[in-house]
């Protein structure tokens, strides 16, 4: 038997062999290639505030919130016992939690209509004050029977610029029960808990600065 006769393969059989080979490669060499991409979730800024909030004539910068490695992620965090954190499978925020909260803080201050200038920390905005935040808790907690509760806790420091002296400090914490264990309900509880936190931080910040304009004292 010649070598040419040994290697002669019908074209249809060759096509089936190659298809099987590529499928095996995709399954073995590219893990997760056939999995669906994660669902992305977004939270909303606060849009309603008391009319009695003071209207201020100073500018504010909001640096990126500080967070430990477990919370400095786009993954949605859950806690099933007091000493460990886990993440929901195939479900992410649209950004890392600190970046998302920074954006929502800026938008919430803008929505209040009570401040002339607010933005992320940058050289283009000459800030009179800076709002430093530390993200301490941002997870759904399954510590009993039934649906989880969402806990949000942020520590805030209002810093006078350019002296960089702390004018006020406060911790804001809210616990919101989810209507069910369905992920959509859990995300809704995140939105409510964070919304309450944003509203309180905006009001506290605007009230913590003396009414005299800081520019008059520079």
Measured between alpha carbons, how far is residue 29 from residues 21, 32, 53 in Å? 11, 10, 59
The string of pLDDT tens digits covering residues 189-210 is: 999 999 999 999 999 999 999 8
Tokens of 10: 């019908």
Closest CA to 97 of 75, 128, 129: 75
Token representation of residue 112: 């209040």
Q: What is this structure's pTM?
A: 0.80
Q: How far apart are CA 31 and CA 132, in angstroms?
A: 41
Q: What is the pLDDT of residue 211?
A: 78
pLDDT in tens, the chain (218 residues): 443 343 344 444 444 444 444 344 444 433 334 467 889 999 999 999 999 999 999 999 999 999 999 999 999 999 999 899 999 999 999 999 999 999 999 999 999 999 999 999 765 778 999 999 999 999 999 988 899 999 999 999 999 999 999 999 999 999 999 999 999 999 999 999 999 999 999 999 999 998 765 554 44
| Domain map (residue ranges) of the chain | 7-36, 39-211
Q: Spell out the SS3 assignment of the chain.
A: CCHHHHHCCCHHHHHHHHHHHHHHHHHHHCCCCCCCCCEEECCCCCCCCCCCCCCEEEEEEECCCEECCCCCCCEEEEEEECCEEEEEEEEEECCCHHHHHHHHHHHHHHHHCCEEEEEECCCCCCCCEEEEEEEEEEEEECCCCCCCEEEEEEEEEEEECCCCEEEEEEEEEEEEECCCCCHHHHHHHHHHHHHHHHHHHHHHHHHHCCCCCHHHHC
Task: Give residue 5's pLDDT.
Answer: 41
Per-residue confidence (pLDDT) for residue 213, from 0 to 100: 52
Whole-number Å distance between alpha carbons of 75 and 91: 7
What's residue 35's pLDDT? Answer: 67
> For domain 39-211, is the CATH number 3.30.1280.10?
no
């Amino acid at each position: 038997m010649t070598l040419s006769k040994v290697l002669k393969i019908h074209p249809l059989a060759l096509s089936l062999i190659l298809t099987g080979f590529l499928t095996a490669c995709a399954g073995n060499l590219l893990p997760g290639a056939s999995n669906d991409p994660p669902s992305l979730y977004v939270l909303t800024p606060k849009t309603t505030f008391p009319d009695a909030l003071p209207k201020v004539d100073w500018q504010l910068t909001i640096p990126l919130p500080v967070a430990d490695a477990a919370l400095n992620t786009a993954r949605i965090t859950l806690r099933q016992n007091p000493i460990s954190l886990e993440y929901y499978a195939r479900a992410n925020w649209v950004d890392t939690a600190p970046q998302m909260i920074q954006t929502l803080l800026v938008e919430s201050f803008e929505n209040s209509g009570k401040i002339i200038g607010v933005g992320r920390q940058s050289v283009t905005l000459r800030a009179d004050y800076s709002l430093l935040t530390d993200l301490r808790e941002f997870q759904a907690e399954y510590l009993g029977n039934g649906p989880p509760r969402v806990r949000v806790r942020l520590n805030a420091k209002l810093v006078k610029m350019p002296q960089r002296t702390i004018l006020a400090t406060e911790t804001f914490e809210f616990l919101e029960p989810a209507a069910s264990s369905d992920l959509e309900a859990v995300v809704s509880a995140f939105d409510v808990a964070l919304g309450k936190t944003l509203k309180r931080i905006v009001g506290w910040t605007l009230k913590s600065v003396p009414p005299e304009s800081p520019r008059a004292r520079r």
